[in-house]
Amino acid sequence: GLHVDLSITGCSDSDGEEMYSLDGEELWFADFINHRGVEPQPSFIDHISYVEGTYEGAVANQQVCKQNLKTIREAMKDIPLEN
């Protein structure tokens, strides 16, 4: 059957998120406070593990996100709110 696979990466100046889900169930998220990946899966399913380095990739994605945020802010600083 068909499945819905979703990944979310987002950031702000002070926070960030990276998360993976399947069919509406969260499979993995980055815990940036405790510096680790978390797999909050219930005990009654076959556990799905992510490859080693997934957390480090999430940290790198946050750096890219924050740089993109900075670039977009600079590019849009002189654009008026209304045309």
pLDDT of residue 6: 96
pLDDT of residue 71: 96
pLDDT of residue 33: 96
Mean pLDDT by 10 residues, the chain (83 residues): 95 96 94 96 88 97 96 90 74
Task: Please name the residue ranges forming H helices in the chain.
Answer: 54-76
**Residue 57: CB atoms within 10 Å:** 14
pLDDT of residue 9: 97
If you count them, how many residues does the chain have?
Answer: 83
Q: Does CATH place domain 5-76 in 3.10.320.10?
A: yes
CA distance 4 to 40: 18
Domain range summary for the chain, segments of one domain joined by + = 5-76
